Amino acid sequence: MPNFRELTTDEKSIVSARLADLRRTFAVWSDDYDDDYGDDYNLIAYAYYEGCDQPVLAAAAPYAVGRSLVEKNGFTWVMVQSGSSWHHGVIHPMLPEPIDLLDLESGKWCRPEPDDEPPQPGEATMDSLDVLILAVEWKRLKGREAPMPKGSFFEIEQQVNRARIFWGH
């Protein structure tokens, strides 16, 4: 398991700064997405939907995903050691190890459908959010040690829904 630790005050401010950059860049839409509710994820998703490809989207994506996981899904902010440096990450009691948010872009937690177009920078990170939420639900239903189901997001979602039916949760 990778080493991890709590965030310092300065590291917490980096999250706020990256998301503030996002809101400044997309000020025209920012009022539609409540900053107090951690709606940065939906702001980025809307910008991608509108065809935007600004570098700030990819830069803010890990922090928007992290904020959504922390504020809405029971995760906790941590710093994860990656080589000799530390990256922002999250941890959840149902998952076996912390998630390095910068590593989400590698696609480890992104489960595209077979006919999906290649993602723009930051989109694999954004698409990881729903898979991480399903992973926690799967572990809650099947046990912390249960292996993650394979397949696309849709296939995993179907397996989680079947598990909900069979285990009555």
Residue 114 near residue 94 (C-beta atoms within 8 A): no
Confidence band (pLDDT; 50, 70, 90) for 40?
A: confident
Q: Residues 104-108: contacts with CB within 8 Å, 24+ apart?
A: 104/61, 104/62, 104/65, 104/128, 105/58, 105/61, 105/62
Using one digit for the tens of pLDDT, what is the confidence trace for 6-35?
Answer: 999 999 999 999 999 988 888 877 666 665
Using one digit for the tens of pLDDT, what is the confidence trace for 84-126?
Answer: 999 999 999 999 999 999 999 988 888 777 777 888 888 889 9
Q: Which of 5-19, 70-84, 136-150 has the lowest mean pLDDT?
A: 136-150
Q: 165, exposed or middle or buried, with CB in 10 Å at 0-12, 13-18, 19+?
A: exposed
- pLDDT given at position 37: 46
